[in-house]
Amino acid sequence: MMSRVGVGEASTTRPVVVLVGAAGAGKGTQASILAAELGYRHLATGDLFRSALRDRTVLGEQARVYMERGDLVPDELAIGLVAEALADQSAAGGVILDGFPRTAAQARALEIILAAGGDQISRVVAIDVSEADLVARLSGRWSCPACGTPYHLVYDPPRQPGICNNDGTALTQREDDRVEVVRARLTKQIPPMREVIAHYRAADLLSVVDGSLPIDEVTAAIRAEVGA
């Protein structure tokens, strides 16, 4: 719950909630909903990177080299971006972190960053979704190349399989949404994510919610765990 003491001895001066989960678990959706409801700032590393690239910041230009090669951005750059965002006045009322930390090293760095500002993690919530469901969620995404309308084979299928409702164009799928690519991504993502979960479980900061439930039920479960 929000009142629990986290890592370190300083008292928490603002709520800091971390959402953990694999791609497709619904972290971004839940973070957006909760940030709007609770008045917290939603810090998603993907958004931070895109903003830094757009604004051509020092960290953004350093990250650009890796992103243009298709490589993972080093931990120190991701940590630097998050540290800058946490120091911004817009995050003073509370924070929901989405997509960070991704590794145990990042988790330890986050604790140091927060402690330097007199803060600590309030609660970590892992959104649990089976790997089979993650594959179905991610690989089910298709879109119309002509009008851009998105579809999902399970949650929002076209009226005629493989055909856009609007203009009859054959739907296409992004390369990174293909089943084999999705499985390869999850194979790389899940082991370090489990290390992050183990790290926070050892610190008695972890709650787990069932991410297979309807969106509003997952939101309610997370709110209950963070005491909001």
Query: Considering 14, 27, 41, 123, which one is annotated as catalytic?
Result: 27
Q: Which of 108, 174, 178, 188 is catalytic?
A: 174
Task: Report the 10 Å Cβ neighbour count for 218.
Answer: 22
Q: 126 exposed, middle or buried (CB, 10 Å; 0-12, 13-18, 19+)?
A: buried
Q: Which of the following is catalytic: 41, 123, 137, 141?
A: 141
Burial bucket for residue 58 (CB in 10 Å: 0-12, 13-18, 19+) = exposed
Q: Does 141 participate in catalysis according to the annotation?
A: yes
Known catalytic residue: 174? Answer: yes
Which among 14, 41, 102, 137 is annotated as catalytic? 102
Active-site residue flag, 185: yes
Task: Sort residue 86 into left (φ over 0), alpha (ψ -120 to 50) or beta.
Answer: alpha
Instruction: Exactly one of 4, 50, 183, 185 is catalytic; name it.
Output: 185
| Whether residue 183 lies in the annotated active site | no
The structure tokens 């929901």 sit at: 96
Active-site amino acid positions: 27, 102, 141, 174, 185
